[in-house]
Each structure stands twice: as C-alpha cells, then as structure tokens.
Amino acid sequence: MIRETWKHLTSASTMSPVAPPVAPAVPLGVRVYAIGDIHGQIDALDHLHDLIVRDAAAKASSVRRCLIVYLGDYVDRGEATPAVLDRLCGPPPSGFERHFLRGNHESAMLDFLGAPAANLGWLEFGGLATLAGYGVRMPGAAGPVARAEGLAKALHACLPPTHRAFLSGLQSHVTLGDYFFVHAGVMPGRPLDRQSEDDLLWIREPFLSSPLWHGKRVVHGHTITEAPVVRPNRIGIDTGAFAGGPLTCLVLENETLRFIATHDYR
C-alpha cells in the first residue's frame, strides 16, 4: 500500500513552479474513495468494493461521510460490461454516497448508438467486447455502413433502460475540497470552469507533462501506468485493470492520501 502526505510530496518534488497556498485537502469529516478505469472487469470491481467497505469499517475515526467517485470508462475492452453497469446501477455499499463520471468510452458508445456510420471507430476502440457482452453478433456480409447500423440497432434492442439512463446521466467532473475529479485531465492554463468536454474526456498532452497548478489538484484515469502517478498538481490512477493490472482506488482524507488496489502493482 502506498501512503503519501502533501508535506512529503512538496519537499521531494520541484515539478510545480506555482504551488498551492495550502495543502490540498478534502472537506473535513469526508473520506473519498476514487476508482480508476474499470473496463468491464466485474470481478475486480467486486473485489475492490469489498476492500473499500473493509477499509471504511476499520478506519471509521471521525469520518461522517464516505464518498466513492468512479472516474469513468466502465464499458468496452472487457466483455463483462453489462455486469459492471448492473452493479453500478444498483444500490451503493451501505453507508456510502457515489459520484459517477463519464469517460471517453461511454461517450464513444453513445455516439455510436446515435450515429453508427459516423462512429465506426468505436468498434475497434473496445466496442466489440461490449457488443459481445450484450450478446450482439456481428452481421454477415455487409458494407461498413449497413454493418454499423445493424449493430447499433441490435445494441439498442439489448441495452436495458437502466443502463441507457445511467450512461446518459454521467457527470463530466466533480469538485471536492481542493480536488477536481475528471476522467482524462484538463487543459493547462485554462480555468476549470472553462474546460472543454473534449479535453475532460480525452486529453493526455500537454496535461500529463505540465507542471502548472490547475487551481485544484486533478484526480484522473484514462492514461495507463503500472502504478499510480502522484504529482503535486495531479494524481493518475488508471493501472490497466483490463490488461491484467490492478484496479486502483485513491483514498483521500483531510490532507493525506493512500491507495487500495486489487493486487500488487507490476
């Protein structure tokens, strides 16, 4: 388990030329559990939920509220997407509140459903696994446009209303204290309230290499790393669960941070 404090990070790193005036913290009495990209890995999600529930019970202290923030990319790449969405559409673990963010894969899936011929790229972007999970079979001989429209029609028929409503109602971001939670990241130098939807869902550079303070410390997924990336201005927690890596959870309380994961980092 990795544990860090803001004092340790700022004394060990010179990345950020503009440091925040105070140590980033979540609201007093609140513990936040942020979960990285799931991509249809239902066993990993269930395991991580169990670990989070045990952690909350073992470290109750003075915490009044426990929040789980899911950073998006619940669908694609893993064929258990329907099971993952069933779980997320169901009730939260007892005593927890939840925030669900939209990832670029949810956005791509909805774009395909709305305009399949214009969004054929989703099929090779992870969508084929989602289609297989819902039992949608690839059509036989057909041109690309007819093929896309046939697949979209079949997926529309298989997609439960609860899943459709869940995917359509996801948040683009959430702010808790000095932390800004988002799927991919932000455009450096642009105020958080003026970020584009495209950047929030898709950005890598120049966000990943930027030393700038963004007004909040950004917590994100989207970019796979072997272990969590902790910088003074951002924390990345996509550790490639669909590719055999762990599913990672960042735990924030007051000014401290630590991690829970389904198995050891590579």
Q: What is the pLDDT along the chain (266 residues), one digit of tens a residue?
A: 333 433 333 333 333 445 575 789 999 999 999 999 999 999 999 999 999 999 999 987 779 999 999 999 999 999 999 999 999 999 999 999 999 999 999 999 999 999 999 999 999 999 999 999 999 987 766 788 888 999 999 999 999 999 999 999 999 999 999 999 999 999 999 999 999 999 999 999 999 999 999 999 999 999 999 999 999 999 999 999 999 999 999 999 999 999 999 999 97
Judge whether 128 lies within some domain: no
Residue 240 tokens, joined: 């490639």
Phi first, then psi, for residue 214 (nearest 5°) are -95, 5
CATH number of the domain that 61 lies in?
3.60.21.10
In this structure, are residues 45 and 85 in contact, taking their beta carbons and an 8 Å threshold? no
Judge whether 133 lies within some domain: no
pLDDT at 162: 98
pTM: 0.92
In total, how many domains does the chain have? 1
Residue 104: Cβ-neighbour burial (10 angstroms; 0-12, 13-18, 19+): buried
pLDDT at 8: 32
CA geometry: angle at 63 spanning 59 and 65, to 5°? 115
Structural domain for 196, as ranges: 3-12+24-105+161-261
Judge whether 137 lies within some domain: no
CA geometry: angle at 225 spanning 251 and 252, to 5°? 10
Judge whether 115 lies within some domain: no
In this structure, are residues 14 and 230 in contact, taking their beta carbons and an 8 Å threshold? no
Judge whether 119 lies within some domain: no
Judge whether 126 lies within some domain: no
Judge whether 39 lies within some domain: yes
Judge whether 8 lies within some domain: yes
In this structure, are residues 31 and 66 in contact, taking their beta carbons and an 8 Å threshold? yes
Q: b/e string for 48-59 if b means 16 or more Cβ within 10 A? A: bbebbbebbeee
